[in-house]
Amino acid sequence: MAVRYVLRMGHPLLRKKSRPLELAEMEWSNFQLLIKDMFETMEARDGIGLSAPQIARPLCVIVYEIKANERYKNLKTAVEPTVLVNPYIISRSAERNLDWEGCLSLPGLRGEVPRHQWVEIEALDREGNKLQRKIEGFEARVVQHEMDHLNGILFIDRMYNLDKLSYTPEYHRFHAEESSE
Ligand code: NI
């Protein structure tokens, strides 16, 4: 296992579309290594989600684990370690919520981003089994954020305006109480 370098905004690979994984590729040990590296990198950086392109692997793979850590101290939501391969959204709520997000590729920044309140997704799990799931609230936000990375989209692209784009200390000083998480 290894902690990988996380690409930062400005790196062209963060703006590229990732490609879906073939089922056969998921049987390769490289794939399980990729997943391990992604979890280890995410944990080392106190992230709650990570996409493969962020570690320079342009593949449709995201991982997340929602639990309180140094960057997210007061999370109300908790979700077990989850792997989604080739995820896509089948249906989504018309309603969008505004809430605050950060990103390991934009270190030190937080912004208020609109996301669908719920999404129904289809994906493969780490063993290649098809899964279909309706997720909502903060977990839906994390998944939409990570899926955006697979299309070269960063959270600042989704912001309605940049007035509140903040460095982390200013976020905590002026905006933290606006966050529902
Ligand atoms: Ni991100």
| Ligand 1 centre distance from Cα of residue 132 (Å) | 23
How far apart CA 132 and CA 51 sit, in angstroms, is 19
pLDDT in tens, 17-59: 999 999 989 888 899 999 999 999 999 999 999 999 999 999 9
> pTM of this prediction?
0.94
Q: What pLDDT sits at residue 156?
A: 98
Ligand 1 center–CA 115 separation, angstroms: 14
Is the Cβ–Cβ distance between 2 and 37 less than 8 Å? yes
CA 117 to ligand 1 centroid distance, Å: 18
Which of 90, 91, 32, 92 lies closest to 63, judged by CA?
32
User: Which residues are tagged catalytic?
Assistant: 146
Q: How confident is the model at residue 181 (pLDDT cuts 50, 70, 90)?
A: confident
Q: Give 34 or 177, the one with higher predicted confidence.
A: 34
CA dihedral 149, 153, 154, 156 (to 10 degrees): -160
Closest CA to 59 of 91, 35, 27: 35
**pLDDT at residue 180 greater than cutoff 90:** no
Distance 96 CA to ligand 1 centre (A): 19
Whether residue 106 is predicted with pLDDT greater than 80 in this model: the reply is yes
The arithmetic mean of pLDDT across residues 151-161, rounded, is 97
* 44/67 Cα distance (integer angstroms): 14
pLDDT of residue 75: 79
Rounded to an integer, what distance in angstroms lies between the CA atom of residue 2 and that of residue 54? 14
pLDDT digit string, tens, across residues 64-89: 999 878 777 777 888 899 999 999 99
Ligand 1: distance of its center to the CA of 121 in Å? 19
- Longest Cα–Cα distance of the chain, Å, equals 49
Q: Are 116 and 100 in contact (CB under 8 A)?
A: no
